[in-house]
Amino acid sequence: MDFGLNEEQQMLQDTVARLVRGEYSFEKRLAYSETEAGFSVDFWKQLSELGLTSVPFSEELGGFGGGGVEVQSVMTELGRGLCLEPYLQSVVFGGGLISQAGNDSQKDVWLSGIASGELRAAVALQEPQSFYDLNDVQTHAEKKDGGFVLNGRKAVVIGGHCADLIVVSARTSGGTRDTNGISLFVLKPDTAGIERRVYPTIDGSKGCDITLNNVHVGADALLGEEGSASEVIDYQAGRAIAALCAEAVGVMEVANELTLDYLKQRKQFGVPIGKFQVLQHRMVDMMSELEQARSMAILAASVADEEQSDERRRALSAAKNVIGRSGQFISEQGIQSHGGIGMTWEYNFAHYAKRLIMINHQLGDDDFHLERYAFLLQAS
Amino acid sequence: MNINYTPEELAFRDDVRAFLDQALPADISAKVKGFRHLTKEDHQRWQQILCKQGWYATHWPEEYGGVKWTPVQKHIWDEESCQYGVPRSVPFGVNMVAPVIIKFGNEKQKQTYLPRILSGEDWWCQGYSEPGAGSDLASLKARAVREGDHYIVNGQKTWTTLGQHANMIFCLVRTNTEVKAQEGISFLLIDMNTPGITVRPIITLDGEHEVNEVFFQDVKVPVENRVGEEDKGWTYAKFLLTYERTGLAGIGLSKAALSHLKQLASRCIKNGRPLIEDTSFSQRIARVEIDLTAATISNLRIIAAVEGGGMPGAESSMLKVKGTEIRQAINDLARRAIGPYAIPFAEEELNLDYEGEFLSDENAAPLSAQYFNNRKLSIFGGSNEIQKNIVSKMILGL
Whether residue B198 lies inside any domain: the answer is yes
- Alpha-carbon dihedral sign for residues B74, B79, B83, B87: positive
Convert the pLDDT of each residue in B179-207 to its tens digit.
Answer: 998 899 999 999 999 999 999 999 999 99
Whether residue B102 lies inside any domain: the answer is no
pLDDT exceeds 80 at position B244: no
Is B389 found in the same domain as B268? yes
Whether residue B97 lies inside any domain: the answer is no
Q: Which of B202, B346, B384 sits opposite A344 (nearest CB)?
A: B202
**Using alpha carbons only, what angle is made at residue B172 by residues B170 and B177, rounded to the nearest 5 degrees?**
155
Confidence of residue A309 (pLDDT cuts 50, 70, 90): very high
pLDDT exceeds 90 at position B47: yes
Altogether, the residues listed in chain B come to a count of 398
Q: Which residues contact A275 (CB under 8 A, 6 or more apart)?
A: none
- B384, B320 contact by CB (below 8 A): yes
Whether residue B116 lies inside any domain: the answer is no
- Alpha-carbon dihedral sign for residues B184, B201, B257, B94: positive
Is B274 found in the same domain as B195? no
Question: Any CB–CB contact under 8 A between B49 and chain A?
Answer: no
Q: Which residues contact B176 (CB under 8 A, 6 or more apart)?
A: B183, B184, B230, B231
pLDDT exceeds 90 at position B231: yes
Is B261 found in the same domain as B169? no
| Predicted local confidence at residue B248, as pLDDT | 77
* Amino acid letter, A286: M
Average predicted confidence (pLDDT) for chain B: 93
Q: Which of B336, B373, B379 sits opposite A340 (nearest CB)?
A: B379
When the candidates are 1.10.3720.10, 1.10.1530.10, 1.10.540.10, 2.60.40.2480, the CATH number that belongs to A7-119 is 1.10.540.10
B341 by Cβ neighbours in 10 Å (0-12 / 13-18 / 19+) ranks as: buried
Is B289 found in the same domain as B390? yes
Cα A62 from Cα A44, distance rounded (Å): 18
| Predicted local confidence at residue A57, as pLDDT | 94
Chain B environment of A278 (Cβ under 8 Å):
385, 388
Question: Any CB–CB contact under 8 A between A357 and chain B?
Answer: yes
Domain boundary, last residue among B199, B233, B267: B233
Cα B189 from Cα B151, distance rounded (Å): 11
- Alpha-carbon dihedral sign for residues B354, B45, B250, B117: positive
Cα A139 from Cα A211, distance rounded (Å): 10
Cα B35 from Cα B42, distance rounded (Å): 14
Question: Any CB–CB contact under 8 A between B273 and chain A?
Answer: no
Q: Which of B205, B344, B345 sits opposite A344 (nearest CB)?
A: B205
SS3 B186: strand
Mean pLDDT of B163-186: 94
Cα B72 from Cα B4, distance rounded (Å): 11
Mean pLDDT of A326-347: 97
Helices (H), B57-149: 71-84, 91, 98-104, 107-119
Which of B151, B157, B149, B194 is closest to B175 using CA atoms?
B151
Q: Comparing A7-119 with A122-227, is the CATH topology the same? A: no
Is B213 found in the same domain as B259? no
Is B217 found in the same domain as B283? no
Is B375 found in the same domain as B254? yes
Question: Any CB–CB contact under 8 A between A202 and chain B?
Answer: yes
Question: Any CB–CB contact under 8 A between A1 and chain B?
Answer: no
Chain B environment of A336 (Cβ under 8 Å):
375, 378-379, 383-384
Mean pLDDT of A119-144: 97
- A217, A148 contact by CB (below 8 A): yes
Question: Any CB–CB contact under 8 A between B359 and chain A?
Answer: yes
**β-pairing verdict for A165-171 and A121-124:** parallel
The nearest CA of chain B is from the CA of A124 a distance in Å of 12
Which residues, numbered 149 to 188 in chain A, qualify as contacts with chain B under a Cβ-Cβ cut-off of 8 Å?
A: 155-156, 158, 176-177
Strand partners, B146: B151
Q: Which residues contact A111 (CB under 8 A, 6 or more apart)?
A: A57, A61, A95, A98, A99, A102
pLDDT exceeds 70 at position B246: no
CATH architecture of the domain A231-379 equals Up-down Bundle (1.20)
* A-B contacts (CB, under 8 Å): 137
Question: Any CB–CB contact under 8 A between B20 and chain A?
Answer: no
Is B309 found in the same domain as B265? yes
Question: Any CB–CB contact under 8 A between B380 and chain A?
Answer: yes
Chain A environment of B342 (Cβ under 8 Å):
202, 357-358, 361
- B17, B39 contact by CB (below 8 A): no
Is B131 found in the same domain as B62? no
Whether residue B2 lies inside any domain: the answer is no
Q: Which residues contact B265 (CB under 8 A, 6 or more apart)?
A: B274, B275, B276, B281, B282, B285, B333, B337
Convert the pLDDT of each residue in B285-316 to its tens digit.
Answer: 999 999 999 999 999 888 888 777 777 778 88
| Other Cβ atoms closer than 10 A to B353 | 6
The nearest CA of chain B is from the CA of A10 a distance in Å of 33
pLDDT exceeds 90 at position B137: no
State whether B203 and A344 contact (CB < 8 Å).
Answer: yes
CATH number of the domain where residue B157 is located: 2.40.110.10
Lowest mean pLDDT among A32-36, B88-92, B238-242: B238-242
State whether A340 and B159 contact (CB < 8 Å).
Answer: yes
The nearest CA of chain B is from the CA of A24 a distance in Å of 20
pLDDT exceeds 90 at position A378: no
Question: Any CB–CB contact under 8 A between B369 and chain A?
Answer: yes
B267: containing domain: 249-394
Cα B227 from Cα B213, distance rounded (Å): 23
pLDDT exceeds 90 at position A231: yes
Q: Which of B336, B343, B384 sits opposite A156 (nearest CB)?
A: B343
State whether A361 and B346 contact (CB < 8 Å).
Answer: no
Which of A172, A159, A167, A173 is closest to A110 using CA atoms?
A167
The nearest CA of chain B is from the CA of A4 a distance in Å of 34
Whether residue B109 lies inside any domain: the answer is no
Task: List own/partner pairs for A303-307 with CB under 8 A and 24 or more apart.
Answer: A303/A68, A303/A238, A303/A242, A304/A67, A304/A68, A304/A71, A304/A238, A304/A239, A304/A242, A304/A243, A305/A67, A305/A68, A305/A239
| Predicted local confidence at residue B243, as pLDDT | 64
Is B303 found in the same domain as B228? no
Domain boundaries of chain A, sorted by first residue: 7-119, 122-227, 231-379
Domain boundary, last residue among B42, B66, B89: B89
State whether A353 and B359 contact (CB < 8 Å).
Answer: no
State whether A365 and B360 contact (CB < 8 Å).
Answer: no
Is B338 found in the same domain as B270? yes
State whether A202 and B346 contact (CB < 8 Å).
Answer: no
State whether A201 and B203 contact (CB < 8 Å).
Answer: no
Is B295 found in the same domain as B226? no
Q: What is the DSSP string of B137-154?
A: GGG---EEEEETTEEEEE
Question: Any CB–CB contact under 8 A between A271 and chain B?
Answer: no
Convert the pLDDT of each residue in B386-397 to its tens digit.
Answer: 999 989 998 899
Chain A environment of B129 (Cβ under 8 Å):
340
Mean pLDDT of A261-274: 95
State whether A203 and B339 contact (CB < 8 Å).
Answer: no
State whether B280 and A268 contact (CB < 8 Å).
Answer: no
**β-pairing verdict for B124-127 and B168-174:** parallel
SS3 B189: strand
Q: Which of A132, A201, A344 sits opposite B345 (nearest CB)?
A: A201
- A136, A127 contact by CB (below 8 A): yes
Convert the pLDDT of each residue in B211-226 to its tens digit.
Answer: 999 999 999 999 999 9
CA A89 to chain centre: 6
Cα A131 from Cα A138, distance rounded (Å): 13
Which of B236, B250, B287 is closest to B103 using CA atoms?
B236
A313 by Cβ neighbours in 10 Å (0-12 / 13-18 / 19+) ranks as: buried
Which of B290, B378, B281, B293 is closest to B337 using CA atoms?
B281
Confidence of residue B136 (pLDDT cuts 50, 70, 90): confident
Q: Which residues of B195-222 are buried (b: 16+ CB within 10 A; e: fewer)?
A: eebebeebebbbeeebbbbbbbeebebe
**Using alpha carbons only, what angle is made at residue B96 by residues B92 and B98, rounded to the nearest 5 degrees?**
105
DSSP A107: I
CATH architecture of the domain A122-227 equals Beta Barrel (2.40)
Task: Work out the percent of chain A whose per-residue pLDDT is above 90.
Answer: 96
What is the count of structural domains for chain B?
3
State whether A340 and B380 contact (CB < 8 Å).
Answer: yes
Strands (E) across chain B are located at: 124-127, 143-147, 150-157, 168-174, 185-191, 197-203, 209-222, 226-227, 269-270, 273-274
pLDDT exceeds 90 at position A51: yes
Which residues, numbered 31 to 90 in chain A, qualify as contacts with chain B under a Cβ-Cβ cut-off of 8 Å?
A: none
Cα B280 from Cα A80, distance rounded (Å): 33
Q: By CA distance, what is B346's nearest residue in A? A: A199
Cα A128 from Cα B268, distance rounded (Å): 10
Question: Any CB–CB contact under 8 A between B134 and chain A?
Answer: yes
Q: Which of A30, A134, A199, A280 to mutate to test the interface with B (most CBs of B within 10 A)?
A: A199
